Structures are given as C-alpha cells and as structure tokens.
Amino acid sequence: MQATTDLTSTQWQVADAIARQLVLDAADANELRKTIAYLRAYSDQAEAGKKYFDYLNTLARNGNQIGHSKKTQGYLESIAQTCRQYLGNYKDDVPVMLQVLGWAARLMQYYKESGPIGEIPQPTIQTERESEIQAVTAAHTFKVGQQLEAVVLSIKGNRVTYEILGTIKLTTKEPKKVATLAEGQTTTVEVVALKEDGSLKTVKCAS
C-alpha cells in the first residue's frame, strides 16, 4: 500500500471533495468509516473495488432496514452517490481507495469541527491519466514540425495510434506509412498541429 505522502494532488482533491460534499449533505463520518472497514476487510479479493461500490448501493437501498435512526438512509445514499462520483476512477486500485477514503473521513471531522462551510464549488477532479498528460505537456514546449519519439500502440486499417513521451496517445490516418509500421514498434512522429493550450493535436509518421 502506498504511504500517505505518495498521494497525488489529484487524489488529495478527491479526498477533499468527498469530505466537503458529505459534510454539506450532513452525512455521518462513522457510516463512512464502516464502509472503509468493509473495503479493508475484502481488499485482497478480486474486483474488491467494484464490490465496494456494489456494497454501497446495497446499503443505500436498504438503509431503512439496517439503520439505527431515520437519518441513516440519507447518510448511506449520500455516501454511495459521492463515492461513485469521485472514486470511480480508482475502482481497480484499492490501496489508493483506502487512503483517499481514510483522509476523507478525517477531513469530514475537521470540517464539522471548524464550523459551517457554506456552499462550496465542486472542484474539477482530473483522472490520473489527465494529470499525467497535463504534467508532460507542461514540461515540454511543442512546435509544429518538431519530431518526437513514439511507440505504435495499435493499427486499425489505416489508423495508427501512437504513444508519445510514454503518456500522450494520439490516433491519426497513415495511408502511406501504415504498411511499414507494426504494433510495438518505436518510430518518429512529426507534430502537425497544436491545440490552443500548446498540447499536441495531430502528428504523423516521420520515419
């Protein structure tokens, strides 16, 4: 399992967003902790992340029968909805789910003790892949005509998907070059067009 210091900025955003939303919904942090205990107990099983979301849905549907108060149903519905919204990208990474949820529970306690937090704009949560692409783009200044190393990920007809700088995936038509390319091959691509933010829009094989 990752150390807490290894949480990415995106994962911290997710933990914060979950905590804030649940506090706004007046959900019970103890109910969230119970679901974390369930995930931890079954974390070594296949598809544990998916089973966790199924478990949350079951709790939300049966809150009236299993709750200790009339508010339990609302707590569980809020937890299920909020976790689906923010944790969906991590369903195949249970250690990260456990860390994010653990910090969300701690942050809930902090926000409740610090007083009313009012209406809080929901942050835009990037996926880990989006964060990686953003980091690579920020670290490079791309120019039209520039040549970059790329790996051929897939070939479908005359459409070739390249992976550039180990992160950025772009698909382009290569009717004149496709016969010379093979999946897994390392080649050189030329930048044809850029997006307004300077990131790659279109490339073509330059080999």
Q: Read off the pLDDT of residues 154-197 as tens digits, 9 standing for 90 and up.
A: 999 999 999 998 888 899 999 999 999 999 999 999 999 998 87
The pLDDT, as a whole number, for residue 123 is: 55
Q: For residue 25, give the 3-state DSSP assignment.
A: coil
Residue % of the chain over a pLDDT of 70:
82
Query: Does pTM top 0.75 for this prediction?
Result: no
CA distances 3 to 98, 104, 135, 179, 186, Å, are: 11, 16, 22, 47, 35
Tokens in use for 49? 């992340």
Q: Which domain holds residue 24?
A: 4-125
**Residue 133 covered by a domain:** no
Q: What's the start-to-end Cα distance of the chain, in Å?
A: 42
pLDDT tens readout for residues 65-121: 655 556 778 889 999 999 998 888 888 889 999 999 999 999 999 888 876 555 555
The pLDDT, as a whole number, for residue 129 is: 62
In this structure, the answer to whether residues 144 and 119 fall within a common structural domain is no
In this structure, the answer to whether residues 85 and 17 fall within a common structural domain is yes
In this structure, the answer to whether residues 13 and 109 fall within a common structural domain is yes
In this structure, the answer to whether residues 171 and 120 fall within a common structural domain is no
